[in-house]
Chain A
Amino acid sequence: MSSQATETHRETEARRQTEAPQGSSPTVQERYRIVEGGPAAAPTGTHTGHLPNDIPDWERPSVWATMKGLVVTTTNFMKNLFPQNRWQKPTINYPEERRAYSPRFRGIHQLTKRPDGSLKCVACFMCATICPAECIVIEAAEFPDKRVEKYPVRFDIDMLRCVMCGLCVDACPEEAIIMTGDYEMAAFSRAETVYPISLLADRPQLASTPPGYRPRYTPGPDLVR
């Protein structure tokens, strides 16, 4: 290795020209083969998985290459530290600052209400049926108003299982479940991540979050969020 390690790329090429029979370069099988004895025993021009001894000078590790890299690093560091415009700054001061998301953002679900304050949900189980994560658990009961007939006494969404696909919103025949722009669902226990009706319909964060993915983007007066 010692004699070859000092050999430059140019010299190697020159030697290969003279050593190798004219007009026949090493085949692929020859260049890439398993060599007994490791890289030291490898003939010139064989790829052994180690730093090849025939790479060009400008690719070899050197002070110059390190300096070049540092210039790139420093430039970006300075740009981020003193951004000239918002595109140069990749981070924001969350949670004081927040990004604006699409009006179709699929965040935590919400159960909508009728103008009289009752849930629009009629417990038809369409969302639970379509749900690919099987994260919705509903229990239905008889509603006193005979025109409504059925309503959920229990409507749980397991946020840890939910994959935020929005199919429940598509399946709902009543616009009773929509998604919101709310995406903060950190909790201290698994039990807290199962959202019951009280959280899905009346959680305090709803006041400050815009609605997300939903069937109608200009809802009529019959929908109360």
Chain B
Amino acid sequence: MSEATAKPMVELTIDGKKATVPDGTNVLEAAKSVGIRVPNFCYHADLTWEGSCRMCLVSIEGRPKLAPSCCEPVKAGMVVHVGSPEAETARRAQLEFILLNHPLDCPICDQAGECKLQDYYVEHGRYESRMPRGLKVHKKKVVDLGERIVLDKERCVLCSRCVRFCREVSGSHALQFFTRGVTTEIGTENDGPITGDDYIGNVVDICPVGALTAKDFRFRQRVWFLKSAESVCGHCSTGCNIRVDSKDGTVYRFVPRRNPEVNKSWICDAGRDSYKLLQGPGRLAGPRLRRAGTHVPASWEEALDAAQAAIAHGKKAGANGIAAIASPDVSTEALYVFRAFARDVLGTSLVDYRVDGSHEKTTVMADKILRHADPHANNTACAWLGLGQASVNDILDACEKEQVKTLYVLRAEFLRGHPEPERVRRALSRVEHVIAHATHDIPELTLASVVFPDATYLEMDGTFVNYQGRVQRFARAYPPVAEAWPATGVMAQLAKRLGGAVPAGTADKLFDEMSAAEPAFGGLRWKDLGLLGAQPKSAQTVGAEER
């Protein structure tokens, strides 16, 4: 964006409105900036200009012919008419041309409801088809393109978005045009499966019609039943902006949300599938207690009582009686509360988050496009909040020597990442009481004496700080499942019982409080974060270096 602002600004008139945009912008984007939407199929903000669909034709004064607005750079003093009668007629005619051989698949097409063709037909078309029945050109339907994609060649409007994506972004060149004229079609070589492209799921999102559908989402739900929440992918430290589409507490898909500063319009396939890891059969339904060697379900009251007793027991054992391990998988607000909880309530300095060494890989790219080698979303925030006070190996040593009586673990799953799992197991079994927050039922949980079911980031509001130091908000998509309860609430409750106090409240309140107290956050306010997040001034150099 810094490049764009450096460019000289150009002023032009679009449908009587004055637009001022940087030089090099196309007319379509300029129109968008003053709130005029130009219909288009082939234009995509993060791909090169193609101008193949001819839906965005506009009239420009002084030009003999209509011009495709997506391929027309702005010029000073340009006078553009998007709604002129010629442009409207051309649009309508072009729509009819595109729809000539389009199958009437809307009832069974997954794209229905978010289909540009449907929308434009309602806006600009509304004519009776002049194509006699039986004369339509038919192409192959339901072509299986590997693990993720199903192609319907008939529905394609030949906009070439997917072709450009495979050429310019993922570099796999998987999808191409074949044959010519009315039989032109999109496909892979011999309709073979697409392999070796870890970003191919994006072609489904950018397909303006239902030609490319995702196997994962196919036929599972109609899009108009889904509720969307603006969120951030927690699958690696990139922090791709996503939209979580869910219904009745079930997530059906992650869809990338455009953020030019982070992920453009893309998301990797692993991140797209990560919603499956956040729900499903393994989720903990309620608190658990270890009684006589086995785990039994317990009420929250009983679990909090047990945790309170365990913490009091650990405190009696002296300075190193309690240790606490944070996790870079939870929200920044939870980490902030955890830090205060460890310091003021547990009264320990044996606090660390560097269990699996991922903190060193936060800014290391795992591929050439988006992914980072750090599989956790919030290592940056852990570092900013100074949670690495002791080394995790010291904590484990102290556990093995039975100095630590009570261990408080913010996410039990996170401990599995330790390079020596046997050592962790041994250490945990020597500790008298392990209090653990966990989202999923994993075998290692049997080592814990109290287990609190935690809410995933889809079930709460909060922020993640990505590898650039960009603070990004995620919104709650649905309420916590069963009896799960966000760790912030549990820690506040425990603090109250133990006669201490930790920051409590909603995510926005906690964030503002934290940001005011922590210089690393540069005084950012929750309301400044918006949908695309914000970077504190101190962190901006880090991001620039990386990019």
Chain A interfacial positions (CB closer than 8 Å to B): 122-126, 129, 140-142, 146-147, 149-150, 173-174
**9 A-B pairs closest in CB distance:** A124-B107, A140-B219, A150-B108, A146-B142, A125-B222, A122-B108, A173-B107, A146-B141, A149-B108
**Do residues B108 and A124 form an inter-chain contact, with CB atoms below 8 A?**
yes
Q: Give the residue of B105, B107, B222 whose beta carbon is less than 8 angstroms from that of A174.
A: B107
Complex: chain A residue closest to B220, CB-CB:
A140
**Do residues A129 and B107 form an inter-chain contact, with CB atoms below 8 A?**
no
Most buried by B among A141, A150, A174: A150
**Do residues A122 and B107 form an inter-chain contact, with CB atoms below 8 A?**
yes
Known A-B contacts A125-B222, A142-B218; A149 and B107 likewise in contact (beta carbons under 8 Å): no
Q: Does B127 contact A (CB under 8 A)?
A: no
> Which residues from chain B contact A150 at a C-beta distance below 8 Å?
108, 219
Q: How far is the CA of A4 from the CA of B220 in the complex (A)?
A: 82
Give residues 94-125 of B contacting A (CB, 8 Å): 105-108
> Which residues from chain B contact A173 at a C-beta distance below 8 Å?
107
**Do residues B107 and A141 form an inter-chain contact, with CB atoms below 8 A?**
no
> Which residues from chain B contact A126 at a C-beta distance below 8 Å?
107
**Do residues B108 and A129 form an inter-chain contact, with CB atoms below 8 A?**
no
Q: How far is the CA of A38 from the CA of B224 in the complex (A)?
A: 65
**Do residues B108 and A147 form an inter-chain contact, with CB atoms below 8 A?**
no
**Do residues B108 and A141 form an inter-chain contact, with CB atoms below 8 A?**
no
> Which residues from chain A contact B224 at a C-beta distance below 8 Å?
129
Q: How far is the CA of A124 from the CA of B106 in the complex (A)?
A: 8
Q: How far is the CA of A122 from the CA of B108 in the complex (A)?
A: 7
Complex: chain B residue closest to A146, CB-CB:
B142
**Do residues B107 and A147 form an inter-chain contact, with CB atoms below 8 A?**
no
Q: How far is the CA of A31 from the CA of B97 in the complex (A)?
A: 81
**Do residues B141 and A147 form an inter-chain contact, with CB atoms below 8 A?**
yes
Complex: chain B residue closest to A138, CB-CB:
B222
Q: How far is the CA of A126 from the CA of B106 in the complex (A)?
A: 11
> Which residues from chain B contact A141 at a C-beta distance below 8 Å?
219
> Which residues from chain A contact B218 at a C-beta distance below 8 Å?
142
Q: How far is the CA of A123 from the CA of B107 in the complex (A)?
A: 8
Complex: chain A residue closest to B218, CB-CB:
A142
Q: How far is the CA of A122 from the CA of B225 in the complex (A)?
A: 18
Q: Closest approach, in angstroms, between the C-beta of B211 and any C-beta of chain A?
A: 14
21 contacts between A and B (CB under 8 A): A122-B107, A122-B108, A123-B108, A124-B107, A124-B108, A126-B107, A129-B222, A129-B224, A129-B225, A140-B219, A141-B219, A142-B218, A142-B219, A146-B141, A146-B142, A147-B141, A149-B105, A149-B142, A150-B219, A173-B107, A174-B107
Q: How far is the CA of A111 from the CA of B106 in the complex (A)?
A: 20
Q: How far is the CA of A122 from the CA of B218 in the complex (A)?
A: 14
Q: How far is the CA of A125 from the CA of B108 in the complex (A)?
A: 9
Known A-B contacts A129-B224, A149-B108, A174-B107; A123 and B219 likewise in contact (beta carbons under 8 Å): yes
Q: How far is the CA of A125 from the CA of B222 in the complex (A)?
A: 7
Q: Closest approach, in angstroms, between the C-beta of A124 and any C-beta of chain B?
A: 3
> Which residues from chain A contact B141 at a C-beta distance below 8 Å?
146-147, 149
Q: Closest approach, in angstroms, between the C-beta of A159 and any C-beta of chain B?
A: 22
> Which residues from chain B contact A140 at a C-beta distance below 8 Å?
219-220
Give residues 131-147 of B contacting A (CB, 8 Å): 141-142
Q: How far is the CA of A124 from the CA of B141 in the complex (A)?
A: 17
> Which residues from chain A contact B105 at a C-beta distance below 8 Å?
149
> Which residues from chain B contact A142 at a C-beta distance below 8 Å?
142, 218-219
Most buried by A among B142, B219, B220: B219
Q: Closest approach, in angstroms, between the C-beta of A222 and any C-beta of chain B?
A: 15
Q: Closest approach, in angstroms, between the C-beta of B164 and any C-beta of chain A?
A: 28
- Cβ proximity bits B207-226 to A, threshold 8 Å, 1 near / 0 not: 00000000000111010110
> Which residues from chain A contact B225 at a C-beta distance below 8 Å?
125, 129
> Which residues from chain A contact B107 at a C-beta distance below 8 Å?
122, 124, 126, 173-174
> Which residues from chain A contact B108 at a C-beta distance below 8 Å?
122-124, 149-150
Complex: chain A residue closest to B143, CB-CB:
A146
Q: Closest approach, in angstroms, between the C-beta of B120 and any C-beta of chain A?
A: 20
Q: How far is the CA of A140 from the CA of B252 in the complex (A)?
A: 14
Complex: chain A residue closest to B141, CB-CB:
A146
Complex: chain B residue closest to A176, CB-CB:
B107
Q: Closest approach, in angstroms, between the C-beta of B185 and any C-beta of chain A?
A: 16
Q: How far is the CA of A122 from the CA of B141 in the complex (A)?
A: 16
Q: How far is the CA of A173 from the CA of B108 in the complex (A)?
A: 11
Q: Closest approach, in angstroms, between the C-beta of A53 and any C-beta of chain B?
A: 67
Q: How far is the CA of A141 from the CA of B110 in the complex (A)?
A: 12
> Which residues from chain B contact A149 at a C-beta distance below 8 Å?
105, 108, 141-142
Q: Closest approach, in angstroms, between the C-beta of A90 and any C-beta of chain B?
A: 46
Q: How far is the CA of A140 from the CA of B142 in the complex (A)?
A: 16
Q: How far is the CA of A126 from the CA of B112 in the complex (A)?
A: 11
> Which residues from chain B contact A129 at a C-beta distance below 8 Å?
222, 224-225
Q: How far is the CA of A146 from the CA of B108 in the complex (A)?
A: 12
> Which residues from chain A contact B106 at a C-beta distance below 8 Å?
124
Q: Closest approach, in angstroms, between the C-beta of B261 and any C-beta of chain A?
A: 37
Q: How far is the CA of A218 from the CA of B106 in the complex (A)?
A: 26
Q: Closest approach, in angstroms, between the C-beta of B67 and any C-beta of chain A?
A: 39
Q: How far is the CA of A140 from the CA of B108 in the complex (A)?
A: 10
> Which residues from chain B contact A146 at a C-beta distance below 8 Å?
141-142
Q: How far is the CA of A126 from the CA of B141 in the complex (A)?
A: 22
Q: How far is the CA of A50 from the CA of B168 in the complex (A)?
A: 92
Q: Closest approach, in angstroms, between the C-beta of A83 and any C-beta of chain B?
A: 52
